[in-house]
Structure 1
Amino acid sequence: MKEKIFNIIQIGDKSNKISRAFDIFITIIIVDNIIVTFLETFDQLSSFSGLFKIVEIVTVFVFCVEYILRIWTANYLYPEVTAGHARFKFLISFDGIVDLLTIIPAFFLSGFVIFRMLRVARIFHLFRLNAKYDSFNVITTVLYEKRNQIISSVFIVLILMLASSLCMYSVEHEAQPAVFRNAFSGIWWSMSTLLTVGYGDIYPITTLGRIMAICIAYLGVGAVAIPTGIISAGFVEQYQRKSSISDLKDADIQEIAEVFVDKRYAGKTVEEMEEAQQITIFLVLRDDFSVLPQKNTVLKLNDIIIIRVEGE
């Protein structure tokens, strides 16, 4: 029974209809909770506060039950450690922290502001559900694979922001000391300019300052375009890799192809994969390494395998 419950509450198991129904149920509960949290902020709907409270209690109760079940079945999630250690690993894991933050606001809502702000964590609970499915997993995979390039582009933006803020402060401080009081005022202006937001609450009035603002605004267009281009290119690469093996077979492709290893194939050995799918695996691309496949090589999630579909 414990193992069955563990399999049911696992997210993203498309092969188990009960687990898939549980995912849909939890999604509905989370959406209902978020909608109620949103509607409670409207004074015009104060007459429905009783109904909102009931929905809040019911949904939080479901969250609590799910949280307890996940702690109880944690030894199946981490079978390599003891039951107590497995429960501790779940409690400090991302999923465990999100589950806890989902529950805490209901018990401390009238307390500190920080606990009321934690209600936003329920949205991350919804993200966690979506992240287990292929469509959302593409986004997380792209961000992970392009993390170095994204970090580099963000670093460039920060350097431009600091440089432009110091330059603008030096030029504008004497002309409007109440506006550009310190370097932080320049940072606020440079942020809104580089990111093309342009709030207009702080702006240069000197000729030199305006010339600099024009140049910085042009730099801002390029600064925003850099990470956007990196992420867009990553999406194109991922969708090209997401061609499933079944699609390749149906298309009767006989040449070499790249296939993205998703949850259906992760954990299988090269031998199992070749026999089940009637393919030949020539190479496994894993992170920044190329792995020559052996019969007992275990495929991992997000691996890229170079294959050829065997002819009929």
Structure 2
Amino acid sequence: MLHLRKLLYRVLETSAGKRRGISLVFNLVLITIITLNAIAIVLHTVPEYNQRYAQLFVDFELFSVLFFSIEYLMRVWVCVENEKYHHPILGRLRYIVSASAIIDFLAIFPFYFSLFATDLGVVRILRLFRIFRLFRISRYSQAFRMIQRVVEEKKEELVLSLSFVVFMLIILSSVMYFVEHPVQPDKFTSIPATMWWGVSAMTTVGYGDILPITPLGKLLGGISAIVGIGLFALPTGILVSGFTEQVRTRKDPSKRMCPHCGREI
């Protein structure tokens, strides 16, 4: 059993062990099934296809759930081969609550829950969770893994920049409320309601459902749009610099960039 568990671990984990050939085939099959699931979810919403191929959609869903369920149980079983989850009980529990395992679980949970649920509204909502199967492809894509590494390395800068956005949203919405509420009490009813205007103004979307009509309000709206462009450019710049560092490190692993000063270390 131990030999079988190690063998399955090498197959399931892309970069583990020497059996990369078998692992590559398995990963290609898995990516194909995930892609077909995405196509099925999209086509299932087309009434013509849903009526004509209803049984095919049902059969493919049953096959997918069975395949993903077996794979999920195997991953829980073999995860102890990883030093991080080496404990037979606590290690598996730690793996189950990991991000990748939660995504795997959400990919199959709606089907089993719908077998016992009687509320059709809840069942329809849970069916949307099948879209989590798309996130599973990130485990096998170098691009997705690079995005994950960039976000992890730049999380402090991203949180800081997003905090600036939230603070400015609260400040601008509060000022706009006190400016426009006296003349438009039905539109700018409260600061939380005015924050909807703040979001559309700072993102320069401008839905037009809530608009300032006073000269001071219009001036504040223009300032909000200009400030929003600058603030939302901050996360973009942070992510671009992170991708640049990752690309340089990938091309030349011996050269690592300092995340603070940007110099080679």
Q: TM-score, normalised by structure 1?
A: 0.74
Partner of 1:3: 6
Query: Structure 1 pair 305/90, CA: closer, same or farther in 2 (3 Å)?
Result: farther
Query: Structure 1 pair 80/209, CA: closer, same or farther in 2 (3 Å)?
Result: closer
Encode CA deviations 1:237-284: one digit per residue, 9 max, x unaligned. 221222246xxxxxxxxxxx6158xxxxxxxxxxxxxxxxxxxxxxxx
Q: Secondary structure at the match of 2:209?
A: coil
Which deviates more from structure 2 when the two are superposed, residues 32-41 or residues 58-67? Answer: 32-41
Instruction: Give, in whole Å, the separation in 2 of the partners of 1:152 and 1:44.
Output: 48
* Structure 2 residue 155 is matched with structure 1 residue 151: no
Q: Is the 8 A contact 2:80 2:92 kept in 1?
A: yes
Q: Secondary structure at the match of 2:255?
A: strand
Partner of 1:103: 108
Partner of 1:37: 41
Q: Structure 1 residue 175: deviation in Å?
A: 1.4
Partner of 1:266: none
Q: Unpaired runs of 5+ in structure 2?
A: none
Q: Structure 1 residue 163: deviation in Å?
A: 0.7
Q: Structure 1 residue 37: deviation in Å?
A: 1.5
Instruction: Give, in whole Å, the separation in 1 of the partners of 2:87 and 2:151.
Output: 33
Q: Structure 1 residue 232: deviation in Å?
A: 0.9
Q: Determine which of 121, 124, 135 is the counterpart of 1:124.
A: 135
How many residues get paired?
Answer: 252
Q: TM-score, normalised by structure 2?
A: 0.86
Partner of 1:91: 96
Instruction: Give, in whole Å, the separation in 2 of the partners of 1:152 and 1:89.
Output: 29
Q: Is the 8 A contact 1:3 1:73 kept in 2?
A: yes
Instruction: Give, in whole Å, the separation in 1 of the partners of 2:98 and 2:15.
Output: 18
Greater percentage in strand: 1
Instruction: Give, in whole Å, the separation in 2 of the partners of 1:79 and 1:237.
Output: 27
Greater relative CO (CA pairs within 8 A, separation 6+): 2
Which deviates more from structure 2 when the two are superposed, residues 213-222 or residues 120-129? Answer: 120-129
Encode CA deviations 1:101-158: one digit per residue, 9 max, x unaligned. 111111224732553332232122222332xx3x332222221111111111101100
Encode CA deviations 1:166-223: one digit per residue, 9 max, x unaligned. 1111111121111111111210000111122222211111111111101111111101
Q: Is the 8 A contact 2:76 2:95 kept in 1?
A: yes
Q: Structure 1 residue 79: deviation in Å?
A: 6.9
Q: Secondary structure at the match of 1:95?
A: helix
Instruction: Give, in whole Å, the separation in 1 of the partners of 2:178 and 2:85.
Output: 60
1:179-198 equivalence runs, <5 A = 179-198=187-206
Instruction: Give, in whole Å, the separation in 2 of the partners of 1:157 and 1:79.
Output: 37
Q: Unpaired runs of 5+ in structure 1?
A: 246-256, 261-284, 289-303, 307-312
